[in-house]
Structure 1
Amino acid sequence: MCMSSSLKSATLPAFANETDHLALLDFKIRITQDPLQIMSSWNDSIHFCNWLGVTCSTSSKRVLLLELEAKRLAGPIPPSLGNLSQLTGINLRNNRFYGEIPQEVGRLQSLQHLNLTSNSFGGKLPTNLSYCTQLRVLDVAYNNLIGQIPYHLSSLSKLVNLSLGENNLTGTIPAWIGNFSSLYVLSLIQNNFQGSIPSELGRLPGLGFCRLASNNLSGTIPPLIYNISSMYFFSVAQNRLHGSLPPDVGLTLPSLQIIYGGMNNFSGPIPLSFSNASQLQVLDFGNNNLTGSVPQNLASLQGLVKLNFEHNSLGNGEDGDLNFFNNLANCTSLEVIFLQYNNFGGVLPSSIANLSTKLQKFIMGGNMIRGDIPIGIGNLVNLNDVGLECNYLGGTLPDILGKLQKLQILYLEYNKLSGPIPSSLGNLTILTKLFMEGNKFEGNIPPSLGNCQNLLLLDISHNNLTGTIPKQVIGISSLSISLDMSHNFLVGALPFEVGNLIHLTELDLSNNRLSGKIPTTLETCLSLGGLYLEGNSFEGAIPQSLATLRGLEQIVLSQNNFSGNIPKFLSKLVSLKYLNISFNDLEGEVPSEGIFANSSKISIFGNSKLCGGVQELHLPTCAGSCTQNSNPYFKKLRVSYARLLKSTNGFSKNNLIGSGSFGSVYKGVLFENGAIVAVKVLNLQQKGASKSFINECNALRGIRHRNLLKIISACSSTDHEGNDFKSLIFEFMCNGSLDQWLHPKNNVQHWSKRLRFIQRLNIAIDVAYALEYLHHHCQTPIVHCDLKPSNILLDEDMVAHVGDFGLVNFLFEASNNPSKSQTLSVGLKGSIGYIPPEYAMGGQVSTLGDIYSYGILLLEMFIGKRPIDEMFKDGLSIHKYIAMALPEHVMDIVDSSMFFVEDDEDVNNDIVERTITEEDPHVIVSNRIKECLIYVLQIGLSCSKTSPDERMPTNVVVGEMNTIRDTFLKFKKKNTRRMT
């Protein structure tokens, strides 16, 4: 009995605090994932103070610390955690905990450290944390917290570290944070805070680390911030801050080591005083609007590691802009120079040879630098990324580049480099990306490039290269992103070694002089998504071996000498989105299944021996066969008045989607098959409506093109009261008219309906293709006579379709030059603002009248103003307004909303140096994009000239607009590559 009593007494201290024990057990049972079996140690075979991650007081056996960092645990935190009343520290950093942070944490009044960063906590910050007045560290970064920072937390006056970054917090940064006199770390990065930076933060005497980047902060930086002499890290990048940087910034922040101010709207010069911040290691103000020169005295920053002023407006495009390089040799720690996309001119000084040998990234693309690449660049032996693209560099490429054996990425595209590609580039054995397109390189492709066995991307397109494709290069098996040799003068057969490209996504050999058959080894390139072989002299049948390439999305084999039938397997490639086999010598029946069922996704022009296919293709019926068109849009539907009445809910106002001169358009649902259609009901009381109906029927029944509005059926009947009723039923365009996008009716629509530059360009090209078809590819040339934004409709993919053929004219007069074919004009043809001047003076209808309307449309699309805008008066027209502005003031007249970048967009958008908002409608774009804008507007001016004979023909318009788009997309592709 005595022994039993003694044992019982000895075990009591192990569970002296049952409250802590139960709280820990509750914590354990909430754990839903424990791959490292951490919780297996939490069992009653040992005292809970010895459980993994638990630290207790040696005297009281109360839990003091809960330390479970990076244990891959998942589960919610139970409210019972608040029962561990002696806790001074909780560290659950870098796990997978979820749910809300319980309010009961506020009961831990001895808590000094709370670290929950890098988990999946949601909900709001608990207001009861205000009772944890001993907190020194509050770190809940990298979670999913929402709401505002509660005012209750103003009681945490002893905080040394407040880290709330990488959440979804909103509201403003509270001014009362300025009362936290002990605060050393403040991190609010990447939330949705808005408003200005409170000046009260300038009262934090010991603040050393301040991170406010990636929010929606606006205004200027309060001057008091620059007086915090203890601050060594300051980041306000990716906000909407503006104003100039104070000239004495380097004097007032003597401890500054790192400053990030990129992706804002800062303007003015780079302060000379930065040279006084002698501890500075990172100076980053990329993506702003800074002007002037780079100060020479930055050379005094001997500890500088990173210098970034990319995407600003530095330099004047003149000699001497780069003289600051002469002194940068003093920055012996320099590893990164980002100065791309500014206005630097002149030549690269030979003094770059004296830059720090630690330099790893030297990025100067998108400027106006000319002359040769200095041989001294070979001294920078640690370079891994060189960007000299989109300049005016000339001469030959120095062999010395082959010494840079740590080079991984080399951007040389879109310069004026000439001569041969140096064989020494084959020494760059760890090179992953090589961009050389858009130069004047000549001679053979050096086989030594085959030594670059780590290449992921090789682009040598748009040069003057000759000779055959070396098997060593076409067989680089590491290539996975793209191999582009297009637009050269390469000859001979495609080597069998192409089969080594088993990881390649895109192969472009188009527009060369290659010949022979496609090797069967191509069948092993199972990752191919794009195959572009157009514009060569390949021959033979389209190889059956391509059937294995199930991932192909685009195949372009046009303008070759392929013969035989179209292989059936092409219709079975489920990933295929576009197929172009035009201008070959193919024959036989065109399949009707798979991609061939949609004529807008294939091109088969120029193969005179083809037959069959869907009706849209207008091919002759194959001999000895009877094919049935399965496309539902062009079956002979019998649509009655009663059916249309039902489908539009009695032509209700709720279904009305537009009105025009001769009638109204309603949205309808054909109940038999659920198809959504647009029903155009003619107002027969309006003079000319009946003729419009006949014109539109005559025009649409004989034409088919992907950029023309597709008619489904027509109805000519009587309504329930015996009145004549005429209606046309069209394919429904879910994105409405171009007019609705260019000229939204209210502010909400204005910010929800914004067409980006590339979208406007695509739409303009779509319309040009439609006109080219009407003018040159119909049996009888057709003049639309009413081209304007409201008659251009957009489908779900934002593809443009020209509609409303109520005013069309058929040019029956035979002529070798259809653009000169004319019919007599009867009154004005078209809409005010778009009517060509010759029509107003009684001239005759011609295709050149459509060209005039297209020109006005093009000008309207890119400046966002109608031709009848109230500003165009007293002799000022939209044509004159734009002509006076080009080229110097193009950015003063264009619609800046086309450069707005949505939050969830990618970057496609790095073509702009910064985005715009409702509050800040100003936008700055790169010189290359300005050039594209100028060219587009010049085409618009050419098309809308007063004299018809001076207007640009439709086929030329199509070619020029496509060239602009190709230039833009190449530039965009290059910027995307840079971002990745």
Structure 2
Amino acid sequence: MLPKTPNCSLKILALMFILYRVAASRPTNETDYQALLAFKSQIASDPYDALNTWNDSIHFCAWTGVICGKKHQRVTALRLPSFRLVGPVSPHIWNLTFLKVLNLNDNHLKGILPQEIGQLSRLQELRLSNNSFEGELPRNLTYCADLRILRLNGNNLRGELPDQFFSLMKLTRIELSSNHFTGEIPSVLGNLTALTQISLGDNHIQGSILPQLGRLPNLKYLVVEVNSLSGHIPTSLYNISSILIFSVAVNNLSGSLPSDLFLAFPKLEDLLVSVNEFSGLVPSSIANASRARMIDASRNALVGPVPINLGGLKNLQVLNFEVNHLGTEEGDDLSFFTSLINCTKLQVLSFTQNRLKGVLPNSIANFSSSLTQLWVSLNFISGTIPSGISNLVNLQLLALSINMLTGRIPSSIVKLSQLQGLYLRENNLSGVIPASTGNMTSLFSLYLGYNRLDGTIPASLGNCMHLNRLRLDENRVVGPVPQEVFGLSSLSILNLSGNSLTGPIPSQVGKLMNLQALDLSENNMSGVIPPTLGDCQVLEYLYLGANQFNGTIPTSTSKLRGVKFLILSRNKFSGQIPGFLADLPAIESLDLSFNKFQGKVPNRGIFRNHSAVHVVGNNDLCGGPSTLQLPKCKGGAAEKHRKRTSSKRTVLVITVTISIFSLLAAIATIILYCLKRSKRGNAFTFSTEGRHPKLSYGELSQATNGFSSTNMIGEGSFGAVYKGVLPSNGQNVAVKVLKLEEQGAGRSFMAECEALRNIRHRNLVKIITSCSGINFRGEDFKALVYEFMPSGSLDKWLHPVPNEIGRAEDNTRLSVTQRLNVAIDVATAVDYLHHQCQTPIVHSDLKPSNILLDSDFSAHASDFGLSKFLKVKASGTQSGSIGIRGTIGYVAPEYGVGGEVSTRADIYSFGILLLELFTGKRPTDPMFGGEFDLRGFVERSIPDGLNQVLDPLLCLGRVQGNLRQCLLKVLRVGLMCSAAQPNERMNTGGAAAELQKAQDVLQGRRRRNRV
């Protein structure tokens, strides 16, 4: 042993110090402990108490979700999925350098993924799906060379997919769906030969599907649905025999599907190519798809026959070819049904809206008992409904509408006890409605309208306690309406119009607590309106026209605070028109024509809107607004008033004459002054020569037939709008005449002129000219002349008149696609006002009645009478005057407490408009009150109650799949825009982008409307 020397001892001490410093600088399990505590400190909400064990009472390796290595007690895995954790992720979590698995799926985590993620060099699985992470993909992720699984789907990530990101050669699964990624699919993706799954769906990716992907021999899942991809599917992809899931749905892809498609993909389980532009024939190799579970080629342009040898599809659960052009001229297009007998797992079969001809084969009775949905509406199917259809005991939906079916509804159909939707409308069915229909107690929708059914309405329908929509309109049904039907509290739509029904409305009508639409028109019903009708508190559409009803309008009708359309025409009602009709807050259309009403007509409320009130054919009416052109009431106060006014007439004539001459002199002076100023170039004239035609009062009067009531197309607080035709060029125009007697009308006119002369946008109403002058009576006259919008206001389409209920919904209703287009148009217009004008403009009155639709149903924002130019403060913020501006229900809440005019208030109005657009509910609907409003109604109901929120006039049935995803996204945009706090609202540019993304899902529906 060497003797110790002072120098040796010093060297040993120095060496020990260096080793201590090195050890101290390396991560330890103390570092892991601190990183976990930092993670916990950022969590604002932990509803399941998942992190309650994260304390010093036990070692951190025993904490919930934490897994440590046995050797070094370092954290190797952190698994906390589906705990609803809320908050950002602490950057210290990236100090867990031994981490191999990070699973935080299905929480409410947010923030930007930092570059420090690259410190996790041992990371193999990164699972952060279904959170709210933002920003771009961290480029330092490429340092995680061992990464196998990357799951970031369902977040708010954006930007392009970086090429260097795909240098992770060990990657087997890439899941980036449901984000906001843009750009194209990187070609280097084809180098990752270990990949088994690529999920890039529901983004904004453009370009084409690259042929380089054909170099991935192990690929099983290729999901690029809901993007903006175009072009053909590269043939190289058909070399990947390992494919299990192939989903390219909802893009702009074209070309034909190769005949050997199912031979190229022998293991294929799901083929999803819907909502594209594929043409050609159905691949003949479909018979070889023995492993296929789902084949969805709906909403394309496929033609020709359906292959008849489908019996080999033993595992098939869904077969969907709806909205194509399938069919031949031979008239035997349904023979393939017989081969489907062997598909014992089939659950959904849809060939709606094609060109299939022929009769439904009796073999349908031998379909699998697992079938739950059968859709073949909108074809050319003839013959009778096979009685053996009753063998499909698990059928929940049967849709055979709009065909050429004849014969009776088979009585055996009532054996379908699970049936929720029976759609047989618009055929040539005859006979009676089976009395045993009431056995189908699960029925939600029963549509039998537009057939030749006779007999009576079965009282057994009262057993269908879940029935929500009953449509028997336009048949030959006779007799009284059973009391049992009016006892169904579940009903929201009851349409029995166009039959030969008799008898009174049963008093049980008051039990219809959820009734929104009642149409009994064009029957032979009689008796009085029962007082119990007033108990239908949510009723919006009441159509009783063309019957034999008599008596007076009961006072209980005043309780119908939500009624919008009250149509009582062509009956035998008598008595005085009750004044409470003028006070109904939601009333939009009132038709009392051709009855026996008498006495004085109210002169307020809806009665002042002559285009919404009809009282012709009641010969004993008097008074009311002059626009109704009724005789004055004789005697009483009216006669005394006539005598008093007669004595003042002479004085009035003299006064008016003097006023006219004085006014003309003043106008002449003003004109001379303006001419002098215009020579110096300082005058502003809204109607400049050559750009805006100069129109006089006389020309506008001639264009509108003397501002005739028949030409009026709308009326608001400050003006009435008339349709006109300019005599000079025959152009159709809309003329808004200001009500100058209303306080604020003058300011509204100037505000609108100032706004419209500064803005130009395709989604803003186009101003043609203005007119400010004197009418023929010597009174001030101001008007604005706009381009005429032939489709009217959005309000009229969202809340149509009741006799349109259930009448060819596809043609008289705004579809999901059309509503989405309108929403995008409005968002784009408002974004232009806020961010693209030289001085930002706040519209201040966004609502459906101020959104006009042209012939193509493109939306144009109108009525800038309350608009406001914003001033930019020194701080860079924008502000305007204080005070409430707009319409109740659409006004931002901060205005109620003296908030300043701001663009965020417009965003709130847009959010409410968007919710109304898809729910069909006005924010002022009587169902709302106190703290329960339209926004709360939607927020509490989605996602699970989506079907209950959507506008019933959309008639969507059960909303599933891409349509459900789209509608949820739209409603969430509405919720974000209408947040109570202004700084929490989404801007209109972001809203337009999100809505554009949702629109991509429905491209096929746009094609459907053109078929």
User: Of the candidates 431, 435, 444, which is equivalent to residue 456 of structure 2?
Assistant: 444
Question: How far apart, CA to CA, are the structure 2 residues paired with 1:313 and 1:645?
Answer: 69
Specify the code of the residue in structure 1 equivalent to 2:592: I
Using a 3 Å threshold, how does the CA distance of structure 1 residues 353 and 731 change in structure 2: closer, same or farther? farther
Question: How far apart, CA to CA, are the structure 2 residues paired with 1:645 and 1:577?
Answer: 47
Structure 1 position 207 matched with structure 2 position 209: no
Structure 1 position 468 matched with structure 2 position 522: no
Q: Deviations over 1:223-259 (max 9, x none)?
A: 1112211111111111111111011111110000110
Question: Contact (CA 8 Å) 1:295, 1:324: kept in 2 or not?
Answer: yes
Aligned to 2:440: 428
Q: How far apart are residue 114 of structure 1 and its match?
A: 1.0
1:793-942 map, 5 Å: 796-798=850-852, 904=995, 914-915=1005-1006, 925=1009
Structure 1 position 262 matched with structure 2 position 274: yes
Aligned to 1:152: 164
Query: 527-536 vs 488-497, which deviates more?
Result: 527-536
Question: How far apart, CA to CA, are the structure 2 residues paired with 1:509 and 1:84?
Answer: 71
Question: How far apart, CA to CA, are the structure 1 residues paired with 2:408 and 2:784?
Answer: 56
Q: How far apart are residue 73 of structure 1 and its match?
A: 0.9
Using a 3 Å threshold, how does the CA distance of structure 1 residues 909 and 209 change in structure 2: closer, same or farther? closer
Structure 1 position 103 matched with structure 2 position 115: yes
Question: How far apart, CA to CA, are the structure 1 residues paired with 2:78 and 2:352?
Answer: 49
1:590-629 map, 5 Å: 590-623=601-634, 624-625=637-638
Q: How far apart are residue 356 of structure 1 and its match?
A: 1.7
Aligned to 2:528: 517
Aligned to 2:592: 581
Using a 3 Å threshold, how does the CA distance of structure 1 residues 657 and 201 change in structure 2: closer, same or farther? farther
1:693-712 map, 5 Å: 695=702, 699-700=706-707, 705-706=712-713, 708=723, 709=735, 711-712=737-738
Using a 3 Å threshold, how does the CA distance of structure 1 residues 135 and 656 change in structure 2: closer, same or farther? farther
Question: How far apart, CA to CA, are the structure 2 residues paired with 1:538 and 1:905?
Answer: 50
Specify the code of the residue in structure 1 equivalent to 2:180: N
SS of 1:299's equivalent? coil
Aligned to 1:670: none
Specify the code of the residue in structure 2 equivalent to 1:356: S
User: Of the candidates 19, 31, 37, which is equivalent to residue 25 of structure 1?
Assistant: 37
Aligned to 1:86: 98
Question: How far apart, CA to CA, are the structure 2 residues paired with 1:798 and 1:104?
Answer: 51
Question: How far apart, CA to CA, are the structure 1 residues paired with 2:792 and 2:504?
Answer: 52
Using a 3 Å threshold, how does the CA distance of structure 1 residues 759 and 472 change in structure 2: closer, same or farther? closer
Aligned to 1:561: 572
Question: How far apart, CA to CA, are the structure 2 residues paired with 1:25 and 1:908?
Answer: 43
Question: Contact (CA 8 Å) 1:419, 1:441: kept in 2 or not?
Answer: yes
Q: How far apart are residue 110 of structure 1 and its match?
A: 1.1
Q: How far apart are residue 505 of structure 1 and its match?
A: 1.7
- In structure 1, the gaps of 5 or more residues are 1-11, 628-634, 666-679, 683-689, 715-723, 742-755, 762-793, 802-900, 916-922, 928-980
Aligned to 1:528: 539
Q: How far apart are residue 547 of structure 1 and its match?
A: 2.0
Q: How far apart are residue 530 of structure 1 and its match?
A: 1.6
Question: How far apart, CA to CA, are the structure 2 residues paired with 1:725 and 1:573?
Answer: 36
Q: How far apart are residue 439 of structure 1 and its match?
A: 0.5
1:266-277 map, 5 Å: 266-277=278-289
User: Of the candidates 35, 57, 72, which is equivalent to residue 47 of structure 2?
Assistant: 35
Aligned to 1:544: 555
Aligned to 2:503: 492
Specify the code of the residue in structure 2 equivalent to 1:700: F
Question: How far apart, CA to CA, are the structure 1 residues paired with 2:700 and 2:276?
Answer: 55
Structure 1 position 73 matched with structure 2 position 80: no
Q: Deviations over 1:597-630 (max 9, x none)?
A: 4333333333333334444333344442469xxx
Using a 3 Å threshold, how does the CA distance of structure 1 residues 643 and 108 change in structure 2: closer, same or farther? farther
Q: How far apart are residue 710 of structure 1 and its match?
A: 5.1
Using a 3 Å threshold, how does the CA distance of structure 1 residues 350 and 573 change in structure 2: closer, same or farther? same
Q: Deviations over 1:345-387 (max 9, x none)?
A: 1111112122222221111100001111111212222211111
Aligned to 2:72: 60
Structure 1 position 332 matched with structure 2 position 339: no
Q: TM-score, normalised by structure 2?
A: 0.66
SS of 1:230's equivalent? coil
User: Of the candidates 312, 321, 345, which is equivalent to residue 333 of structure 2?
Assistant: 321
Using a 3 Å threshold, how does the CA distance of structure 1 residues 142 and 725 change in structure 2: closer, same or farther? closer
Question: Contact (CA 8 Å) 1:272, 1:297: kept in 2 or not?
Answer: no
Q: Deviations over 1:303-360 (max 9, x none)?
A: 2221111110001254211111222212222221101100001111112122222221
SS of 1:297's equivalent? coil
Question: How far apart, CA to CA, are the structure 2 residues paired with 1:737 and 1:503?
Answer: 35
Using a 3 Å threshold, how does the CA distance of structure 1 residues 509 and 701 change in structure 2: closer, same or farther? closer
Question: Contact (CA 8 Å) 1:911, 1:926: kept in 2 or not?
Answer: no
Query: 572-581 vs 388-397, which deviates more?
Result: 572-581
Q: Deviations over 1:817-837 (max 9, x none)?
A: xxxxxxxxxxxxxxxxxxxxx
SS of 1:327's equivalent? helix
Using a 3 Å threshold, how does the CA distance of structure 1 residues 80 and 622 change in structure 2: closer, same or farther? farther
Using a 3 Å threshold, how does the CA distance of structure 1 residues 183 and 456 change in structure 2: closer, same or farther? same
Structure 1 position 222 matched with structure 2 position 276: no
Using a 3 Å threshold, how does the CA distance of structure 1 residues 909 and 581 change in structure 2: closer, same or farther? farther
Q: How far apart are residue 574 of structure 1 and its match?
A: 2.1
SS of 1:206's equivalent? coil
Q: What is the percentage of aligned positions where both structures have the same residue? A: 41
Specify the code of the residue in structure 2 equivalent to 1:511: E
Using a 3 Å threshold, how does the CA distance of structure 1 residues 301 and 697 change in structure 2: closer, same or farther? closer
Q: How far apart are residue 138 of structure 1 and its match?
A: 0.9
Q: Deviations over 1:868-924 (max 9, x none)?
A: xxxxxxxxxxxxxxxxxxxxxxxxxxxxxxxxx999599999999553xxxxxxx56
SS of 2:51's equivalent? helix
SS of 1:254's equivalent? coil
Aligned to 1:161: 173
Q: How far apart are residue 545 of structure 1 and its match?
A: 1.0
Aligned to 1:234: 246
- Aligned CA RMSD, in angstroms, stands at 3.8
Question: How far apart, CA to CA, are the structure 2 residues paired with 1:420 and 1:658?
Answer: 69
Structure 1 position 179 matched with structure 2 position 191: yes
Using a 3 Å threshold, how does the CA distance of structure 1 residues 420 and 24 change in structure 2: closer, same or farther? same
SS of 1:38's equivalent? coil
Using a 3 Å threshold, how does the CA distance of structure 1 residues 543 and 395 change in structure 2: closer, same or farther? same
1:115-134 map, 5 Å: 115-134=127-146
Question: Contact (CA 8 Å) 2:610, 2:709: kept in 1 or not?
Answer: no
Query: 106-115 vs 314-323, which deviates more?
Result: 314-323
Q: Deviations over 1:110-157 (max 9, x none)?
A: 111111111122222222212212111111111122221122312222
Q: How far apart are residue 96 of structure 1 and its match?
A: 0.8
Using a 3 Å threshold, how does the CA distance of structure 1 residues 26 and 559 change in structure 2: closer, same or farther? same
User: Of the candidates 313, 323, 326, which is equivalent to residue 311 of structure 1?
Assistant: 323
Question: How far apart, CA to CA, are the structure 1 residues paired with 2:129 and 2:443?
Answer: 37
Question: How far apart, CA to CA, are the structure 1 residues paired with 2:375 and 2:686?
Answer: 55
Q: TM-score, normalised by structure 1?
A: 0.68
Aligned to 1:946: none
- Bigger relative contact order, structure 1 or 2, given CA contacts below 8 A and separation 6+? 2
User: Of the candidates 310, 313, 328, which is equivalent to residue 301 of structure 1?
Assistant: 313
Specify the code of the residue in structure 1 equivalent to 2:153: A
Q: How far apart are residue 208 of structure 1 and its match?
A: 0.8
Structure 1 position 247 matched with structure 2 position 259: yes
Specify the code of the residue in structure 2 equivalent to 1:570: L
